[in-house]
Structure 1
Amino acid sequence: MAVDLTLNTVLLHRTDLEMDLVEHRLASFSQWPLTGNCKCTPERMAEAGFYHCPTDNEPDLVRCYVCFKELDGWEPDDDPFKEHSRATDCAFVQLGKKEHEMTRLDYITLQREGAKNRARKLYEVRVTQLDRAKREAKRELDRVRRNVR
C-alpha cells in the first residue's frame, strides 16, 4: 500500500516521517517520469533531500523533507542540488552534507528544523483555509441578504 504524501496528510498525520533516510526518499520515486540519461535521476533527487509526491496534475512534484519546498516542472537537464540550493533558508541545503557524512548532531538539527517548518507550513495552510472559509461565508451571507430584500 502506497503512503499518502499529499501535503495536508503529511502535515496532519506525518506520513513522511521515514523520508529522513535517503533510501526511503529513493523508494518514493518508483513512478518518477524522468528516467535515462538526465541530471534529475531518482538517486540524485533523493540525495538532494527530495521525495516524490505526485498528484494528478503534477506527476513530477517533489518535496524537501526538511523545508517542505515543493518543485515540479522538472526537465532532464535540471540539477536537483542546484534547484534546492535556491531554498537558502533550508537547513538541509545549509548543511551541505550527504547522508553518510552526517553526524548525530546534524541529524537531530535537521529533525528539529523539519519540525519547525512542519508547524509553520501547517499554520500557513490553516490560515489559507480559514481565509477561504471566511470568503465563502461572506458570499453566502451576501446572497442571503439579497434574497431577503
Structure 2
Amino acid sequence: MLLKELGSASKLLSDFKDMYEYENRLKTFTNWPFRENCKCTPENMAKAGFVHCPDENEPDVVKCFFCLIELEGWEPNDDPWNEHIKRYNCGFLALTKPFDDLTMEEYYMLEMTRLRTFLVSVNQIILI
C-alpha cells in the first residue's frame, strides 16, 4: 500500500511539472461544472494555479499543482484566488512577476520549494 501511495505521489510530482504553464492547467477543465456568470470559471481556476482532478463522486475537485492543496465543493461566487490563498501560503501565488519572466535562478528556487512541498506531503503519507 505504501509503495502504491509513493508511486502515485511521485507521478503527480512529475505530471504537475508541466502545469507551470497556464494553458496546460486550463486544458484540464474540460468537464468543469462552472462556465458562465460565475467567479470560478476554468480561466480563473487555472490562473489561481488549480488543475481539475474530478472523480466519480466529486466533479469539482481541484488541486494546486504547486502546493498540492485540494479543494472541492465550489459555489458559483467562490473566487479561486481568494479560496486558495486563505487556506495555504502558496509559493506560486506569491510570484511577483509572470512565470515566463522568471530568471533561471528564480525558477530553480521555485521548483525547489515545490519539491519541498511534495516531500512534506509524502512524509505525511508515510506517517499515516
- Say which one has the larger Rg: 1
Aligned pair count reads 121
| 1:22 alignment partner AA | Y
Could you tell me which residue of structure 1 aligns to residue 9 of structure 2? Answer: 11
Structure 1 partner of 2:86: 86
What is residue 107 of structure 1 aligned with on the other side?
Answer: 107
Matches within 5 A, 1:1-149: 11-13=9-11, 14-99=14-99, 102-104=101-103, 105-128=105-128
Cα RMSD of the aligned pairs, angstroms, is 2.0
Give 5+ residue unaligned stretches, structure 2.
none
In structure 1, runs of 5+ residues without a counterpart are 1-6, 129-149
CA distance in 1, matches of 2:69, 2:35: 22
Deviation for aligned residue 1:68: 0.5
TM-score w.r.t. structure 1 length? Answer: 0.72
- Render the CA deviation track for 1:37-95: whole Å, top value 9, x for unaligned: 11011111111111111111221111111111111111110001111111443111222
The TM-score with structure 2 as length reference comes to 0.82
Q: Distance in 2 between matches of 1:117 and 1:58?
A: 25
Residues 69 and 88 in structure 2, CA contact (< 8 A), matched pair in contact too: no
Instruction: Using the aligned pairs only, state the percent identity.
Output: 38
Cα gap change, 1:108/1:71 in structure 2, threshold over 3 Å: closer, same or farther?
same
User: How far apart are 1:116 and its partner, in Å?
Assistant: 0.6
